[in-house]
A and B are shown apart, each in its own frame.
Chain A
Amino acid sequence: MGRTVAEVIRETTRDHLTNHRGLFLGQCVTAVGWIGGTVPAMSEAEGIVELSLADVTNAGIAVGAALAGRRPIYTVRYQGFMWYNAAPIVNYAAKSKDVWGVPCPVFLRAIAMEGNGIGPVASASQHGLIMRMPGMPVCAPMSPGEWTEAWNWFMRHDDPLYVSEHRRSFAIDYEFHNSIEPEADITLFPISAARLNAVEAAHALRKEGILCNIQHLVWLKPFTVTDDMRHALSQTKLGLVIDSDFEIGGPSRSIAYDLMHQCGAPVFALGLEDRSAGVADALDNPTPTPERIVRVVRELVRSGRTVPAGATIE
C-alpha cells in the first residue's frame, strides 16, 4: 500500500521547509489534527507560521513572503473562505509577473469539504473563483501522484498555483486511471471529489447496461483537451463534466464548452445546485452524488443525442 495524499503533503512540506527555505502559512495549523494530518509537526522557527484569523491580510502576507523568495505554502482550511482570500492572490500574485515581470510563486492549498453540517459558506470547492482571473494555473489533485505532480510543477515554475484540494482525498493511497470502453454510451469528465462519485456511478450504471468512459480532470486551467478525451468523445458523442464547484458560471460549464468546441460532441455540465447549503443533511448541497450522476446520465443517454447542448439536464 502506498502513501496517502495526506502523508505525501506532510512529507513534501517537511522537505520544503527543511531543505528549501520554504514557509508554511495558515490559520490554526497546529490545532486539532494538523489540517487532516497534512502538516508536519514542526515549529515556527522551522517555518510553520501561525497566522491570525485576518483572511485578507493573511493572503497578502503570503504574497509578500513569495515576493521575498520563500515559495510559501499558503493553506486556506475551508475553500469557501477564498472569497476573502482571493483579493490579494488574484490581484497581486497572479498579476505580478504580467505587470512587473516579478514572479510571485505561492502554492495555495485551498481545501474543500462537505457534509457534517459544514453549512453554506465553508462547504464546496471554489476553484472557479480563481479560474476566471488570469495569471494563476488551477489544479484539483485527488491522488498522491497527482498532488506530487502539482508540487513538482510549482517548483519547476515561478508562477503561483491554486491547488483545489478536497478532504476526501487525504486518505487516498492509490492512483486513478482513465477508462475508454469500446461500446461506451457517454464520457464522464469528473473533477475533484466528483471523481469518486463518478467512479461509483459508473459501476452502478454498468449494471443497467449503460457504459461510461471516464476521463479524470486534474488540471483545470490551463485546460488541455487530450487525444484520449477526443477519442473518447468521438466514440460516445456525448459527454458530461461533473464538478464539486457550482455549475452555473462554474468550471464544469466552462470546460464542457471547450470540449464541445474542440470535439464537436454535446457535452453537458453537472455541479452544485444553485442554492445555499443548509446544515441539516437533507438541506446540504454536496458534490453530485453517485445517485444524482446515475439519474442524469440515464436521462442523457436515453435522450442525450437529441438534447441541445447547454439545455438544462435535470
Chain B
Amino acid sequence: MNCELEQRTPAFGLISGVAGTFSKDYTLKLFAQTCFNRFFEFEVKNAYDRGLMKLPIYLSVGQEHIPAAITSVFSDCLIFAQHRAHSVYLSFGGDPRQLIDELLGRPTGCARGMGGSASIHSPQIGMFGHSGLMGDQVPIAVGAALGSAKPVLTVMGDASAEEDYIYGALGFAVTKKLQVLFVCEDNDLSILTRTPVRRSWTLCGLAQGLGLPAVDITDDPWLIAHHVKQFSRQLPAVINIRTCRGLWHAGSGCDGPPEWNRFALIKETMKTLELEQDALAIESETERTVQNLWAEQLRKS
C-alpha cells in the first residue's frame, strides 16, 4: 500500500467501478445527505458573513460528503469528533435546528450556547462534544469503547493525528481489540501548514506498525463506504481520507479553488450511473429545504 504523504490526487486508492457496486437508492440517499450538509454549511457562511455569529466557525465545505458516506454503512455507534464536525452531526441525525441555534449562541442550541461550532454534541445520536484540545476525542473514544462495548467512531484531522496521545490510543485499542473506527479527514493542512512540512510519517504507517488494519484513500464517498463496510467487521481500524478543505481553517474565507472539487466529481459519477436528473432534482430541492430551515430558524430570534 502506498502511504506517501504527497499522494494527493482525487483518484488515490480508487477502486474502479466501486460506485456501481451500490444500489441506486443507496446512492441517492448518500447524495441527498451530502447536499444537505453542503448547503447547510453555505447557510452558516451566509449568516457568518452577515455578522449574525460572533464566534469562530469551522466549516466542512469540501469534506461534507465524508460523514455522509460513513453513516451510510456505519451508524449504530457512539461518535467522538472535533471541530469541523457540523457534517458529522447532521449526517448521523443531529437536529439541524439545534445546531443553528448553537451557532447563534442561543440557549436552545445543542450545547446551550456553551460549545459553539467547535464543541457540538447530541446525546440523541450518541455524539459527544469536543473539549477543544486537538485530538483528545480519540483516547476518550477508546475509553468509551472499553466502557460500553459498543462500536465507536472517532474523527480527527491530519494535524490532530500528530498529538502524542493518538499513538497511545491506537495502541491501546489494538491491544484490547476495541471496536473503534478511527477516521482521519486529511486535508493536508494544519491551519495553512502542509503535512509534509510537519512530519515525514503517515497515520496509516503508524497504525499498521501497531498492527491495525489501515487504508489511505482519496475522498470518493463510495470508496469510503466500501472500506468502512469492510473495516466494520474487523475493528479497530484506521481510514485516512485525503480530502480538500474548501474554506479557511476558521471563518468563511477562501484561498482559491481546492486541489479537486469532490462535489463536482460526485455529480460526474452520478452522471455515469445515469442518475444525473435525480441528482439535479435532489440538489435543488435540498438547497431550498435548507434555506427555508435557516430562514425559519433565524426568524425565531
Contacts and interface: CB of A to CB of B under 8 A. Distances in A.
Task: Tell whether A pairs with B.
Answer: yes
Contact of A67 (B111, B132, B144, B169): B144
Contacts of B168: 52, 54, 56-58
Interface string B141-165: 1111111101000000000000011
A96 interface: yes
Contacts of B139: 56-61, 63-64, 88
B148 A68 contact: yes
A101 interface: yes
A60 B167 CA distance: 13
B142 A68 contact: no
B175 interface: yes
B147 to A, nearest CB: 3
Contacts of B143: 60-68
B133 A65 contact: no
Interface stretch (B113-121, B235-243, B292-300): B113-121
A99 interface: yes
Interface string B99-140: 000000000000110110001010100001101110010111
Interface in A166-220: none
Given A54-B165, A57-B165, A58-B168, A87 B142 contact: no
Interface residues on B, range: 35 or more
A154 interface: no
Given A52-B175, A67-B147, A68-B147, A60 B142 contact: yes
B181 to A, nearest CB: 15
Contacts of A54: 164-165, 167-169, 171-172
B136 A92 contact: yes
Contacts of A92: 131, 133, 136, 140
A72 interface: yes
Q: DSSP majority for the A interface? A: helix
Interface residues of A, number: 32
Nearest to B164: A56
A95 interface: yes
Nearest to B148: A68
Interface in A93-109: 95-96, 98-102
Contacts of B121: 100, 102
Interface in B167-217: 167-169, 171-172, 175
Contacts of A18: none
Given A52-B168, A54-B171, A57-B169, A66 B147 contact: yes
A28 interface: no
Given A60-B139, A61-B140, 11 more contacts: A56-B139, A57-B169, A58-B139, A63-B143, A65-B147, A88-B136, A91-B132, A96-B129, A99-B111, A99-B114, A99-B115
Interface of A: 23, 49, 51-52, 54, 56-70, 72, 87-88, 91-92, 95-96, 98-102
16 contacts: A23-B147, A52-B168, A54-B171, A57-B165, A58-B139, A60-B138, A60-B169, A61-B146, A63-B143, A67-B143, A91-B131, A92-B136, A99-B114, A100-B111, A100-B115, A100-B128
